[in-house]
Every structure is written in structure tokens, then in C-alpha cells.
A and B are shown apart, each in its own frame.
Chain A
Amino acid sequence: MDRFLGFVKKEFFHIFRDRRTMIILFGIPIIQLMLFGTVITNEIKDARIAIYDQSKDEVTQEITTKLMSSGYFLLDQNLESTADIEAIFKQGKVKEVLVFGRDFSRKLQREGKADVQIIADASDPNLGKMLATYTTGIINDYIFKQMGNLHLPMQIEPEVRMVYNEGLKSVYMFVPGIMAMILMLISAMMTSISITREKELGTMEILLVSPLRPSQIILGKVTPYLVLSFINALVILGIGHFVFGVPIKGSWGLLLGESILFILMALSLGIMISSLAKTQMVAMFISVIALMLPTILLSGFIFSIENMPLPLQIVSNIMPPKWFIIILRNIMLKGVGMAYVWKETLVLLGMTAFFVVVAVKKFKVRLE
């Protein structure tokens, strides 16, 4: 035990004395969270639009006011001719132009039909689509309310409710994703680098010649990262909950338990990587290319898995973060218990076991 503690202590010295490690451990998680939580967002806020109003009557004025008061749009300017439209798009500031046809309100009254054209800048396709959808929604809403007394022959009015995230806040989605990413980064990448560093330096040989067993060496290397990863998980959950208001409806105990399971999985993955890689560079490369990118792209963190092509959907199943993100979202947003996440938990357990077995086998082979 004394030996083990001495080993862990030495490992903490390495971590605390290396500025780069400290930044990765404590700087990056917080910066990521702040970035994803505030800067990167799927919501529209104060998008600049221009309006070319050929009618300038009561109804078009009312629609314009409604759009502006929604908080999504800012009126950049009123246009006077069709030629202005292209010019203003080219300047790049304005992302959408709304064109009201002639005699808007009169046509609406008499024919029950009026023309409005929405032109969106689709050089950013997601934004363009979203702007158009939001605008259409607001216009439709106006028409429904105004023409309530019109009584169209038949009318279906869908009532939409977004459960578990009423405000459609993207930070709800990002917190679990960032947590998965950070824990993966710290646990898998940092352990694999710290183990390969000893190999590179030659100190691993000295350790292996000592009476320490390989398993003791590995445990000693991994324990500090387990502790630090857990602290990070707490920090991310804390910031998510208390700063960004992400709800944690389920039990904290279960949430933390699942986090520890995920950390263990990532640590064993890190050990496995370190047994495959000979140098720190290789370990870092494997971690970034094989872990970070798929974690970001294929785990459902940013892009939803349901919309991916089938082969990628299948590949996403072997991404451990996918399962962890599902578990986190279920516990945090839906407040469900073990009964609903046991399958995903089992997948993570299985993966952990697999990595441990491979790592142990590889580590022995390496000793040959």
C-alpha cells in the first residue's frame, strides 16, 4: 500500500508540474463548456433581415412588427427595389429578405390569398433553413390569429409541445456531449500519453525490473486520472446545472455512478492504446483521430444519429460516448432511473471488460 501511494504521489507530481497537462485537465473543460454553452448555439437570435414591402399597408406592418418583436430578427433596412435584394445579400450582413407582394391586405381580404416571398441566404444551409422556418411560423401564426373569424372550411391545428426541453435550449444537448468528450479526452488520452511517456523515457523498464507488478504499475498510473476525471465530471455537471440551468431530474447518485463507469471505460481504453502505441506522439494521434473526432461526429453529440446514413448509424454503435450521452440525457432531462438505462449501462460495462482484457493481454505480450 505504501508503495502504491508513493507511486500515485509521483504521478500527481508529473501532472501538477506540467503546465500543458494542467491546461488540458482543467482549462479545456471549462473553456469548452463556456464555448458550447454560449457561443455555439442552434438557436436564432437577432438575425438581420431586410424587408421589401410593396404594399406598406396595415397587415404587412403588423406582420413586420410581429417578426421584430419575436426576438429572433432585427430589421436591418427597408428595401426599395428588387435590385437591392441581391446587393444586400452580397454585403453579407443580412441573412434573409422578406418581400410582400402588391396590394397585400386587399388581396388577402378579397381573394383570401396574398403573396409573401422569403429569400434566405443559404450559404449557411442550416441557418437559412432555420430562418425560413421561423419566419413562416410567425407569419402563419399571425394569419391564424387574425383570420380566426374567417372560418376556413376545414382546419387542422397542430398543437406542438417540446417535452424535456421546452425552450429548445441547445445547452441541454451540449452538456452531456461535452462531458462525454472531456472525460474521454482526460481519461483515455492523458493515461495513454502518460504510460507511453514512461516507455519512451526508459523509466518503464526500471519499473518493470522492480518488484512492482505490471498491474500495480498500471493502477498507479491510472488512479490519479480517475480522481481528476471524477472532479471534472462534477465541475461540468455543476456548471451545466447551476450556470446554464440544465436540469438534473434523475438521481445524482445514479448520474455519478454512470459517470464513474464511463471514466473506467475510458481509462481502460487509454491503457489499451498505450499498449499499442510505442511513443507519445502515436498515442496522442490515436487518441485524437480514433477517439476525439468520432466522439464529436458520431456520438450524437452534435449531429443526430437518426439522420445519418445507415452505415454510419451502425458504426456509431461502437462509439462508447454514444451510449453515455443517451444515459446522461435520460437521467438529466427525463429523470428516469436504472430501469430505463440498464441496456446502455450494460453496453458500457461490456466495452470496459473488452478493453481491460485486450490491454492486459497486450501488456503481457509487450513484456516478451
Chain B
Amino acid sequence: MKEDKTDTSALNTATVTEHLQTVISVKNLVKKFGHFVANDHLTFEVYKGEIFGFLGANGAGKTTAMRILCGLSSPTSGELTVGGYDVYKQAELIKRNIGYMSQKFSLYEDLTIAENIRFYAGIYGLSRQQRKEKEDRMLKKLGLEPERDKLIASLPLGWRQKLSFLIALLHDPQIVFLDEPTGGVDPITRRQFWDFIYEAAAEGKTIFVTTHYMDEAEYCDRVSIMVDGRIAALDTPDVLKKQFNSEDMNGVFLQLARGATRTD
């Protein structure tokens, strides 16, 4: 399975370097909460179709940065574009072009699976016919057709997470933000979840994902590792491993995080 992954990664990186189509551009992003500097001059770019891993210890500032890119929070300063739109002036356009899955579980437990899908399709302004199509396709993909009229509350966590992910993709966004999407999920489901992510990336969607799991970092095309509000390293997993002379991403991460002064 791992070999599969390396192939995809190489392929993706190749495509990226050929076109270098930037979909997220961040220059000198600063976010302060009072005197606390959550994001200290972040600068990075994310390319179309890549899986961009956003790593860091708790409190390193990754969720803050992601919330800013999604329009849930506003930056203190810096130049930012998402999907080609300006974060300050074109927030509404950005919203139409991004999907978001938060760390918190975000489906309505007292609604059925089908109702949840229809609701989210509705707020993105999909037509009745589109909604019906999406609903059928999604249920089929998940193999949840017989369960369509069951309440979400009766669905195991792993399924809910997969459903949340597909719902974040409902409106065909260019970019999907995933905030620790696999927290608390068993390894098999996590693997399936990552298959979904590859599939979406293969369709040309850009995936911006934060994670705690270092094995997942290996699945990304490029990773950035945040320490104390700054980006301490940013490259492909292979280059980083060589650079830090480590066998796996865990080693890379530990070397970088050891210098951290901030923890939860």
C-alpha cells in the first residue's frame, strides 16, 4: 500500500512542478490574539491538485491558520489569496470554492443520513435535481443506501467521518480544508479515508489537511511543519527525511518540535 502511495506522490509532484498553478498563496500571514502571536509571518503556496499536509504540535497555530484561510477568522496582517480570490475582499467568492471539514463532528445527529446530505446540498444552492443525483451517488459510494433513512446518531464514527468528507465535496469545491479529519478513527477506516482523499486529488481538487498522525504525513505530496507559530520546514516527505537524516516523518517532526517552547 505504501509503495502505491509513493508512486502517486511522485506523479502529483511532477504535475505540480510542470504547471505550478498556485491555488493558495500566503505571504507574511500574522495573526495575533492580544500579545499572543499565533501565526508569525507564515509564507507558503499550495498548488492545484496536491495534498498539502499542515503539521504541528498542539498550539503550534495550524488550526488558526486554517480558520483564516476558510474565512472563519480574519488575519491581523499579510497577503492571502485562496482559489485566486482575496481573503479580505472576496470572502464570499472563496466560500463558494472551498469545502471544509472541522475536527468537531459536523453532521446533525437528529437528522437522517439522506436529510443531512440534502440539507448541506441545499445551503450550497444545488438544484433539486442535482441534490437528488448527489445524494444517490454519495450513498452508493459509501454503500449506505439501505441506511439512508437512519439517523446519523446510529452511524459509527468512521462512517460519519467519511460522510462528512463527501459532504465537504458536495458542491465541487476547488480546495478542501480538512482539520484533523481522522482523529479517533481506527487504522482501517483511516486508510479508506485516505483513499477518498487521493480520489479527490486525482480529480484535480487541492487538499489542505492538518493531522497529528505522522504516518499520514507520508501520504501527503508536501508537508509544512509548524513550530511555535512559524513554519519550521516545508517540502516533500522524501526531501525532509533526507534533510533531517531520518527514516520516517516521525523523526523529522520530533527533531523540529524539540525546539518548541509552546505546548498546550
How far does the Cβ of A1 sit from chain B's closest Cβ, in whole Å?
10
Inter-chain contact A212/B108, CB cutoff 8 Å: no
Inter-chain contact B122/A206, CB cutoff 8 Å: no
Q: Which of these, B104, B110, B119, contacts A17 with CB under 8 Å?
A: B110
Q: Which residue of B lies closest to A2 (CB)?
A: B122
Q: Which of these, A18, A203, A211, contacts B92 with CB under 8 Å?
A: A211
- For A145, what are the chain B residues with a Cβ–Cβ distance below 8 Å? none
- For B128, what are the chain A residues with a Cβ–Cβ distance below 8 Å? 2
- For B108, what are the chain A residues with a Cβ–Cβ distance below 8 Å? 10, 13-14, 201, 203
Judged by a CB distance under 8 angstroms, whether A142 is at the interface is no
Question: Which residue numbers of A lie inside 8 Å of B, CB to CB?
Answer: 2-3, 6-7, 9-10, 13-14, 17-18, 201-203, 205-212, 367-368
What band does the interface of chain B fall in when counting residues whose beta carbon is under 8 Å from A? 20 to 34
Inter-chain contact B95/A205, CB cutoff 8 Å: no
Q: Which residue of B lies closest to A216 (CB)?
A: B123
- For A211, what are the chain B residues with a Cβ–Cβ distance below 8 Å? 92, 95-96, 123-125
Q: Which of these, B73, B106, B115, contacts A201 with CB under 8 Å?
A: B106
Question: Which residue numbers of B lie inside 8 Å of A, CB to CB?
Answer: 70-74, 92, 95-96, 98, 100, 102-108, 110-111, 115, 118-120, 122-125, 128
Known contacts A2-B122, A210-B123: A18-B72 contact under CB 8 Å: no
- For A209, what are the chain B residues with a Cβ–Cβ distance below 8 Å? 70-72, 95, 98, 100
How far does the Cβ of B211 sit from chain A's closest Cβ, in whole Å?
18
- For A3, what are the chain B residues with a Cβ–Cβ distance below 8 Å? 122-123, 125
Q: Which residue of B lies closest to A217 (CB)?
A: B123
Inter-chain contact B106/A18, CB cutoff 8 Å: no
Inter-chain contact A208/B106, CB cutoff 8 Å: no
Q: How many A-B residue pairs have CB under 8 A?
A: 73
Inter-chain contact B124/A10, CB cutoff 8 Å: no
- For B124, what are the chain A residues with a Cβ–Cβ distance below 8 Å? 210-211
For the complex, what is the distance from the CA of A367 to the CA of B105, rounded to whole Å?
Answer: 20
How far does the Cβ of B95 sit from chain A's closest Cβ, in whole Å?
5
Inter-chain contact A10/B119, CB cutoff 8 Å: yes
- For B122, what are the chain A residues with a Cβ–Cβ distance below 8 Å? 2-3, 6-7
For the complex, what is the distance from the CA of A356 to the CA of B9, rounded to whole Å?
Answer: 52
- For B111, what are the chain A residues with a Cβ–Cβ distance below 8 Å? 10, 13-14
Inter-chain contact A206/B102, CB cutoff 8 Å: yes
Q: Which residue of A lies closest to B127 (CB)?
A: A2
Known contacts A7-B122, A368-B74: A205-B110 contact under CB 8 Å: no
Ranked 4 nearest A-B pairs via Cβ: A202-B104, A6-B122, A209-B100, A206-B106
How far does the Cβ of A203 sit from chain B's closest Cβ, in whole Å?
5
How far does the Cβ of A21 sit from chain B's closest Cβ, in whole Å?
10
Q: Which residue of B lies closest to A204 (CB)?
A: B106
A-B contact pairs, 8 of them (CB 8 A): A6-B122, A9-B119, A10-B108, A201-B106, A202-B103, A205-B72, A208-B71, A210-B123
- For A202, what are the chain B residues with a Cβ–Cβ distance below 8 Å? 102-106
Inter-chain contact B72/A367, CB cutoff 8 Å: yes
- Candidate in B106, B115, B120 with the most chain A CB atoms within 10 angstroms: B106
For the complex, what is the distance from the CA of A203 to the CA of B128, rounded to whole Å?
Answer: 23
Q: Which of these, A6, A14, A207, A212, contacts B118 with CB under 8 Å?
A: A6
For the complex, what is the distance from the CA of A178 to the CA of B128, rounded to whole Å?
Answer: 43
- For A368, what are the chain B residues with a Cβ–Cβ distance below 8 Å? 73-74
How far does the Cβ of A8 sit from chain B's closest Cβ, in whole Å?
10
How far does the Cβ of A14 sit from chain B's closest Cβ, in whole Å?
6
How far does the Cβ of B151 sit from chain A's closest Cβ, in whole Å?
8
Inter-chain contact B110/A203, CB cutoff 8 Å: no
- For A13, what are the chain B residues with a Cβ–Cβ distance below 8 Å? 108, 110-111, 115
- For B95, what are the chain A residues with a Cβ–Cβ distance below 8 Å? 209-211
- For A208, what are the chain B residues with a Cβ–Cβ distance below 8 Å? 71-72
For the complex, what is the distance from the CA of A210 to the CA of B94, rounded to whole Å?
Answer: 9
- For A9, what are the chain B residues with a Cβ–Cβ distance below 8 Å? 119
